[in-house]
Amino acid sequence: MADLEGTVVGHVALHDPGQDPACAVAREAAGVAEDRLAAVGRLFTSVEHRRHHGGDRLLEEVTAVAHRDGQRPFLNVVQHLTRAVALYQRHGWNDLGPLTITFPDGTSLETFVFLGPIPS
C-alpha cells in the first residue's frame, strides 16, 4: 500500500505464481522453477496522485521484496493499459509478448506478460 499524508493512493501485491496464467510463460523465459517466481498483482495508483510517481515506487518496492525472497517477479497487464505498459518498460521489465487469457465462460482478455529484472 502507498499512502500520501495518510491517504491511500496505491496498492501492489505478490501472489502465488501458480495462480497466474502468465506463470508458464515467465517460467520458460526465466529458466527457473515456479517457486523462484513471484506474481505481481493489483498494482494501481489513484488517478489524482499519479503525478507523485506512486506506481514507480510501488513497482520498485515489490521488485525489491521479490528479490529479497530469492524470487523473480512477473506480471501480466491488459494490452490497452498503455501507461502501465510504459511503466514496466521504463523500469527495465522484459516484455515476453502477448497472452490471451480465456475464462470458463468463453470470454477472453488480451494481455502482455512482463518479467522483472534479474536480482543483482
Spell out the domains of the chain, with CATH numbers in brackets: 2-115 (3.40.630.30)
Cα atoms found within 13 Å of the Cα of residue 30, Cβ hemisphere only:
27
| Each residue's pLDDT tens digit, 3-25 | 556 766 788 999 999 888 999 99
Distance CA 79, CA 66 (A): 24
Q: Which amino acid is at 59?
A: L
Other beta carbons within 10 angstroms of residue 101's beta carbon come to 14
Could you tell me the three cell numbers for 8? 491511500
What pLDDT shows up at residue 2?
53
Q: What is the pTM of this model?
A: 0.90
